[in-house]
Amino acid sequence: MKRILLFLPAILFFASAYGQVLTLSSLIETADVPVKNIDRYVAKKGFGYIGNTYLPDTIIREYHYNGKEKTTNPIIRTFRFFSIRGAVYFIYSTTAAAEYRELKNSLQKEGFFCNEQEDSLQAKCLLYQRNDLTVSLSSNRVDTVTEYSFLVRKAKLPRPKEINYAEDLSVFDSHEYLRYYFGDKHVRKDIYYLSEKEIIKCTILFPHTNRQAVFLWGDDVNNRDLKFICFGGQLMTKSSLLYEKNVAENIWRLKNGIHAGMSMYSLRMLNEAAFDFYGGNSVNTGVVLSDSTGKLDFKKEHIILGCMNCNDRDFLRQAVMNSDDAIMDKRILFVQTIVLKASEIKGAAPSEK
């Protein structure tokens, strides 16, 4: 009994010097705190405001932990928050490796998953996901001190009635967000063939239905960082190429009125000007040239035309064709595929890199 009592002060000292300041639940809780209440919230956790750091288009508000720790190597803990295009981010940093391990283990216990597990404390960056939450773990070593950081973000997902146009889907910046919002039975992982030798990971929303949309990811490891959303026919996903049944005409529409299946004549009227597209003597047959003039912005939405009577020699030998000439030639052309570039869509989820 005496021996146990002798060790008790040492245990208490260790807990005081190296114990956790924030639990995982309190760390995650920050994502639900209104911005106007952040000062009060972090003050209750023992953090005091020390000032702002200014970056281009971003103000980072910073707080330091005020705890008094009895050790020759005091632990440095900071709390930061900032906003990018309406999305709010919180960063908790600590120089205590034990605290980092404990929080990381708690993430796994609470159902967060990481597609690239790494046990080393020196892991450059790990991403944990669960439903509408992401936690990015990173480390930065300066001289003999390593700072471990947890960047927390809760996605601001729209209400169902706010999803009216194809562009509205751009807020879903990861497979996990789609799965959480629409449900497992409506979301499927797949691969997309960019060419015979190049593939990219993708997610299909409402596969093989008239609401099908294909999301192409920039981050292959974590199935996130949205690059493109594709609608319509001739989508080069593995499951689509193996699917033998007919898929109903896609019902997603762009805000400007473009939709899959619309005739080239209707597209030309909507544009209020003629436009050019690649002919049969091109590797990009059917793609509307992005520098075409008119009301529509073909740089933002990439339009690929299909044709029902373009197998003749005259079409196959032309590299570029004009919409008015094709109409005069009675070509039966229509919008086959629409590809939206996420970075060009207003309101798309900001990159977390």
Going by pLDDT thresholds of 50, 70 and 90, the confidence category of residue 256 is very high
pLDDT in tens, 104-135: 999 989 999 988 765 444 456 789 999 999 99
Burial of 78 (0-12, 13-18, 19+ CB in 10 A): middle
Q: What is the pTM of this model?
A: 0.84
pLDDT-derived band at 55, boundaries 50, 70, 90: confident
Please answer whether residues 177 and 132 qualify as being in contact, where contact means their C-beta atoms are separated by less than 8 angstroms: yes
**Residues 284 and 319 sit within 8 Å (Cβ to Cβ):** no
State how far the Cα of 182 lies from the Cα of 177, in Å rounded to an integer: 8
Q: How far is CA 191 from the centre of its chain?
A: 17
> DSSP string of 93-123?
EES-HHHHHHHHHHHHHTT-B-SS----TT-
What's the pLDDT tens digit per position in 187-228? 999 988 887 788 889 999 999 999 999 999 999 889 999 999
If we measure between CA atoms, which residue out of 244, 192, 189, 233 comes closest to residue 210?
A: 233
Average pLDDT rounded to a whole number, residues 58-85: 80
The neighbour count for residue 34, using CB atoms within 10 Å, is: 8
3-class secondary structure, 194: coil
With a pLDDT cut of 90, the percent of the chain lying above it is 49
